[in-house]
Amino acid sequence: GAVVSQHPSWVICKSGTSVKIECRSLDFQATTMFWYRQFPKQSLMLMATSNEGSKATYEQGVEKDKFLINHASLTLSTLTVTSAHPEDSSFYICSVPGGAWRRETQYFGPGTRLLVL
């Protein structure tokens, strides 16, 4: 199956700094990637859909100026948390859809744990 990598696996930063998280599809090209966020003991919540060659689509309640998404190539999407604050501390997970039109089979990266001090 497809392999998806994320970098870094964890990061600690000071409040006010920006953090970039990379998501790479290693096995196949992906015109779409998904970014999820998971709080402790909570569900994964979809944040946005990253689209190669066009703007990302954000879910309701997600600040697009806060969470910048760039789908740089068919194998790379980046999520930048700008001016991070402690409430942004979370587990960020990307996924690549592997199915056909329903894209219901998704391949997940291992996640990036962000801690903002």
Partner 1 sequence: GDSVTQMEGPVTLSEEAFLTINCTYTATGYPSLFWYVQYPGEGLQLLLKATKADDKGSNKGFEATYRKETTSFHLEKGSVQVSDSAVYFCALSDPLNYGGSQGNLIFGKGTKLSVKP
Residues 6+ apart with CB under 8 A from 6: 21, 22, 23, 24, 92, 93, 94, 109, 110, 111, 112
State the amino acid at position 2 in one-letter form.
A
User: Measured from the CB of residue 110, what is the shortest distance to partner 1 in angstroms?
Assistant: 4
Q: Does 111 bind partner 1 (CB under 8 A)?
A: yes
User: Measured from the CB of residue 14, what is the shortest distance to partner 1 in angstroms?
Assistant: 27
Q: Cβ closer to partner 1: 55 or 85? A: 55
Distances (CA, A) of 97 to 88, 93, 102: 25, 13, 9
Q: Does 107 bind partner 1 (CB under 8 A)?
A: yes
Which positions touch partner 1 (CB under 8 A)? 1, 4, 6, 34, 41-46, 48-49, 57-60, 93, 95, 97, 99, 102-111
